[in-house]
Amino acid sequence: MPVLAITHTRLFDGDQFYDDKTVLIDNGRISAVGDTSMIPSDAVIYDAKGNILAPGFIDVQVNGGGGVLLNHTPTVDGIRTIMAGHRQFGTTAMLPTLITDTRKKMLTAIAAVKDAIAQNVPGIVGIHLEGPYLNAERKGVHDPNIIRPMEDDAIELLSSLPNGRIVITMAPEKAKAGTIAKLTQNNVLVCAGHTAGTYNDVQAAIGEGLRGFTHLFNAMSPLNHREPGVAGAAIADDTTWCGLIADGFHVHPCAMQIAVRAKKTGKIMLVTDAMPTVGAKNKRFVLGGEEIIATHGRCALADGTLAGSDLDMMSAVKNTVEMIGTDLAEALRMASLYPAEFLKLGDRKGRIKPGFDADLVLFDGAEFTVKNTWISGQ
């Protein structure tokens, strides 16, 4: 394929902004960054017209999109549809996420993601299993009848994706001592979530290799001045990452601001926790026999319980800038570089530099509207 030259960009390379830059893409990777003088004579030229070109967004928690929920359609075609629903909003890599379900459904979903990666479905880099090894006291919309203790052979199950990343959200206080260490040794990325654990429970988990926290503040024991809880431990620790749903519903903007200021820079990543409504006209769906409706961007059960989100990554970036005053460069890093590093993909994703994957988003910096995306240069 000929070299692609994206010209006249306001470039954000993952570190800083540059005006009127050209990016060359060859064989799915960034080959050069500079000015128009470096463009080969036979290159295909795409004029960015001064819009912002940034590393594509990486979403590590995506339950659904494009009208499809992974739990209902754990197939390659279902995964492809979810990705397409989010790509229009700047997401170029994601982890389809399975909400607490049966052992059979977990096996089916893992196999589908394995096949999707093998078939080069654009943007699929692994799977996130949110449950079933949770604490029912903090179940959210997860079915308490399926939440269960970890089986003896769970480590084998959870490390059965050789061609992608596996993230597992679990309640550390419900796991036997040494479990998180064994999972980590098997390249599973372990996050604490849907947990009623104490500060000390989390410290023990961190000592075993806990990598992060799922949807900070939600479905976890809160910060209290005498018992910091899971939320306090998450914010205070410098080695772990926190996923943040920046929709203004899951976390108050003031709490978001406190977290961003208090947590070590580089350790908060934007996630959507998106449901099928993202990228779909139909704003209603059923989960566990209960209808969920997205109204004005808020997904909830009839009783008001939050049930995932109707959030996309471009909106998450916009909200992070406008709701809490984060500068655009940092908001973009929270949507790309930091999740790449969480996933141990920071050597090839999250920056626009020679040798990195050509996963890019082009957007209007004033309106936060996506103009185009590229995944491996396509």
Tens of pLDDT, residues 51-80: 999 999 999 999 999 999 999 999 999 999
**What is the distance between the alpha carbons of residues 177 and 198, in angstroms, rounded to a whole number?**
15
- Looking at residue 1, its pLDDT comes to 84
Closest residue by Cα to residue 112 from 152, 136, 79, 63:
79
Regarding whether 123 and 14 lie in a shared domain, the answer is no
pLDDT tops 90 at residue 289: no
One-letter identity of residue 114: K
- Looking at residue 180, its pLDDT comes to 98
Regarding whether 250 and 358 lie in a shared domain, the answer is no
End-to-end CA distance of the chain: 11
| Digit-coded pLDDT (tens) for 80-136 | 999 999 999 999 999 999 999 999 999 999 999 999 999 999 999 999 999 999 999
Q: Which two tokens stand for residue 339?
A: 């999740």
What's the CATH code of the domain at 13? 2.30.40.10
**What is the distance between the alpha carbons of residues 122 and 78, in angstroms, rounded to a whole number?**
13
Q: Classify residue 145 as exposed, middle or buried by CB count within 10 Å of its CB (0-12, 13-18, 19+).
A: exposed
Q: What contacts 311, CB < 8 A, 6 or more positions away?
A: 245, 246, 247, 272, 273, 274, 278, 297
Regarding whether 359 and 285 lie in a shared domain, the answer is no
- Looking at residue 227, its pLDDT comes to 97
Regarding whether 180 and 75 lie in a shared domain, the answer is yes
What's the CATH code of the domain at 289? 3.20.20.140
Regarding whether 151 and 94 lie in a shared domain, the answer is yes
Ramachandran region, residue 13 (left: φ > 0; alpha: ψ -120 to 50; beta: rest): alpha
| Digit-coded pLDDT (tens) for 319-339 | 999 999 999 999 999 999 999
Regarding whether 320 and 244 lie in a shared domain, the answer is yes
**What is the distance between the alpha carbons of residues 33 and 36, in angstroms, rounded to a whole number?**
10
Regarding whether 104 and 25 lie in a shared domain, the answer is no
- Looking at residue 168, its pLDDT comes to 98
Q: Residue with structure tokens 């979903």?
A: 109
pLDDT tops 90 at residue 367: yes
- Looking at residue 288, its pLDDT comes to 82
Closest residue by Cα to residue 357 from 8, 114, 28:
28
- Looking at residue 245, its pLDDT comes to 98
- Looking at residue 343, its pLDDT comes to 98
Structural domain count of the chain: 2
pLDDT class for 202, splitting at 50, 70, 90? very high
Regarding whether 299 and 173 lie in a shared domain, the answer is yes
Long-range contacts of the stretch 75-83 (C-beta < 8 A, 24+): 75/112, 76/112, 76/115, 76/116, 76/119, 76/121, 78/112, 79/112, 79/113, 79/116, 79/121, 79/124, 80/116, 80/121, 83/121, 83/122, 83/123, 83/124
pLDDT tops 90 at residue 218: yes
Regarding whether 305 and 209 lie in a shared domain, the answer is yes
Q: What are phi and psi of 122, to 5 degrees?
A: -55, 130
pLDDT class for 365, splitting at 50, 70, 90? very high
pLDDT tops 90 at residue 287: no
- Residues 213-225: what's their mean pLDDT? 98
Regarding whether 112 and 124 lie in a shared domain, the answer is yes
Q: Which of 59, 201, 247, 273 is catalytic?
A: 273
Closest residue by Cα to residue 267 from 325, 347, 340:
340
- Residues 349-378: what's their mean pLDDT? 98
- Looking at residue 65, its pLDDT comes to 98
One-letter identity of residue 41: S
| Structural domain that includes position 220 | 57-342
- Indicate whether 347 belongs to any domain: no
- Indicate whether 304 belongs to any domain: yes
- Would residue 273 show up in a list of annotated catalytic residues for this protein? yes
Regarding whether 37 and 108 lie in a shared domain, the answer is no
| Digit-coded pLDDT (tens) for 135-157 | 999 999 999 999 999 999 999 99
Exposure on the CB side of residue 372, measured as CA atoms within 13 A = 13
**Average pLDDT along the chain:** 97
Q: What are phi and psi of 158, to 5 degrees?
A: -75, -10
One-letter identity of residue 337: L
